[in-house]
Amino acid sequence: MKLQSQLNAAFTTLLLIVMAITGYLIYSLILDMLIQDEQRQLRQKGDLLIEVLNEQYGNTSISNLEEFLQDQDLQLFIYDRNQNAVVSPLPKSVVAEFFRTNDFSDKNETLWEYKNDKYVTSRILIRPESTGLELILLTPLSDIESVQQNFIFRLLIVFLIGGAIATILSYIFTRKLVTPLSKLKKQLKKIEKRQFNSMERIHATGEIKEVEQSVFEMANELQRYINSQQTFFQNASHELKTPLMTIQGYAEGIRDKIFDANEEEKGLEVMVTEVKRLKKIINEMVLLAKLDSEPDVYNPEMLQLSVILEQVVDRALPIVNENGVELKHSMEGSPELYADGEKLLRALLNLTFNGIRHANEKVSLHIKQENKRILITVEDDGEGISENLIPQIFHRFVKGKGGETGLGLAIARAIIEQSGGRITVDRSQLGGAKFQIEFFEQHLER
C-alpha cells in the first residue's frame, strides 16, 4: 500500500473512532439532559397550576383539587402522603395501574412505568407542608426519546458531512506531503545510477525540505568524492608510471648490454633512487587509505604539545641543516590535546618539512592556546602558494613547485580532521605559505 493510502486510511480510521466515541457520549448524555430539562418544565407548569388554584379557591384542600382536576385534561396526580391516596383526572383504571406498579411515596424515583411505557415525573410540594399533598406531573419518555433521536439524526448528518470534508482535506494534504517524497525517490534513483548532472531540485517545506537539502548535499559530496577518486587514480597511475618506466628502461638497457660500465653503474643508482621514491609513494598511499577507511588506526590520548613540539624540532634538524635555513619554534602556555600522538607528529612533520623545502632562510612553528582553542601555525619565507593552487593544495597528488609525492599535505589534513581539527592555508607575513591548524574545545579534554 502506498504511503498516501496508508496516511488516508489511518486518518479516516482515527476520525471514525473519534466520531463514534463522541456520538456515543452525546447519545448517552443527551437523554439525561432532556429528562432534566423536561422535569424543570414540569416543575414550572406545576408551580403555575398551584398558583391558579390558590387564586381561584383560596386554599388547596383535597376537595378543591378534585373539583379543579375534573375540568382539566392533564397527566398528573395529586398524592396525599398522609392518607396514601391519589387524585387524578386520568381514568380510574389507569390511576389504579400507576398506583400498583410505582411507589408514589418514593421522592427519588423519577421514571414511572405504565404497561410497556415509561414516564418522566416531577413532584411539587403543595404549601403548607402540613397538608401532605404533592403535585406529580407526567410526560411520556417516548416524547423525549423522539427528540433525542431527531437530535442524533441531525448530529449524524453533521458528522457525515464533516467526515467527508475532513477526508477530502486529508487527501489534499497527504498528497501535498507525499508528492515531494515521490519526486525525491526519483532523484535518489539518479544518485544510484550516478546521474548527478540530471538531478533536479524539489519544492518542499518543513522537514521534507531539510531532507531534500541533505540529499542534494550528499549527491554533491558523492560526485566530488567520485571525481576525486578518479583524479586520484589518474594521478596515482602517472606518479607510479614515471619511476616504473625509468626502472624498466635502465633494467632493459643493462640486460641488453647497451650501457658501458660507468653508465651501467649510474643506471643502477637511478634505479635504486626510483625504487625508494616508488616505495615512498606506495607507503604514503597505503597510509592515506588507512587514515580514510580505518578509524582503528587512531589511538587518541592526552598529549602535552610541548613534547610534540620538541619531537618535531629534533626530527627536522637534519633537513634544516641540509637546506641551511633557520627553524624558529615557540609555545604559549602548556596546552594539552586529546589526539593520536604518532599521527599528529606525522602531520606536523609533513607541514614543517614542506616549509623547510620551500623556505629561503626562515621557518616558524608556533603553538598557543586562546579562548578554549589551540592554534598551531607553520609558516615560511619562501615563494608561497599560487592563488589558483590554494583550493586544491590538500588534494592527493597535487604538488606545488618543488613538491615531492603530492601526498604529504593530504595526509596532514586527514590526520588533523580525524583528530577533530581544521587546517587552512594562507599567505604568511614572512612572504611564503602559512598553514594554520585549529583545534576546538571538545578535543582539548577527555
Q: How far apart are the C-alpha atoms of 331 and 154, rounded to whole Å?
A: 85
Q: Which triple of cell numbers denotes residue 303?
A: 598529549
Q: Is the pLDDT of residue 276 over 80?
A: yes
Q: What is the mean pLDDT of residues 265-269?
A: 84
Q: Residue 418: name the closest of 351, 352, 346, 367 by CA.
A: 346
Q: Is the pLDDT of residue 300 over 80?
A: yes
Q: What is the DSSP letter of 126?
A: P
Collapse the DSSP code of 72 into the 3-class scheme (helix H, G, I; strand E, B; otherwise coil) and give the result.
Answer: coil
Q: Is the pLDDT of residue 192 over 70?
A: yes
Q: Residue 326: name the closest of 367, 381, 376 by CA.
A: 381
Q: What is the mean pLDDT of residues 256-265?
A: 81
Collapse the DSSP code of 374 into the 3-class scheme (helix H, G, I; strand E, B; otherwise coil) and give the result.
Answer: strand
Please report which confidence band the pLDDT of residue 401 belongs to, taking 50, 70 and 90 as the band edges. low
Collapse the DSSP code of 170 into the 3-class scheme (helix H, G, I; strand E, B; otherwise coil) and give the result.
Answer: helix
Supply φ then ψ for residue 303, to 5 degrees: -115, 140
CB 135 within 8 A of CB 50: yes
Q: How far apart are the C-alpha atoms of 150 and 162, rounded to whole Å?
A: 18
Q: How far apart are the C-alpha atoms of 287 and 276, rounded to whole Å?
A: 16
CB 357 within 8 A of CB 371: no
Q: How far apart are the C-alpha atoms of 218 and 212, rounded to whole Å?
A: 10
Q: How far apart are the C-alpha atoms of 137 and 119, rounded to whole Å?
A: 9
Q: Is the pLDDT of residue 1 over 70?
A: no
pLDDT in tens, 409-420: 888 888 888 888
pLDDT in tens, 22-63: 888 888 788 888 888 888 888 888 888 777 767 665 555 555
Give the H or E element holding residue 247: helix 206-255
Q: 341-358 and 305-323 helices cross at what angle (nearest 10)?
A: 30
pLDDT at residue 113, as a whole number: 87
Q: Give the predicted TM-score (pTM) of the model.
A: 0.49
In our burial notation (b when 16+ CB lie closer than 10 A, e otherwise), range 290-304 reads ebeeeeeebebeebe
Q: How far apart are the C-alpha atoms of 271 and 283, rounded to whole Å?
A: 18
pLDDT in tens, 106-126: 878 788 888 888 888 888 887
pLDDT at residue 67, as a whole number: 61
Q: What is the mean pLDDT of residues 227-240?
A: 68
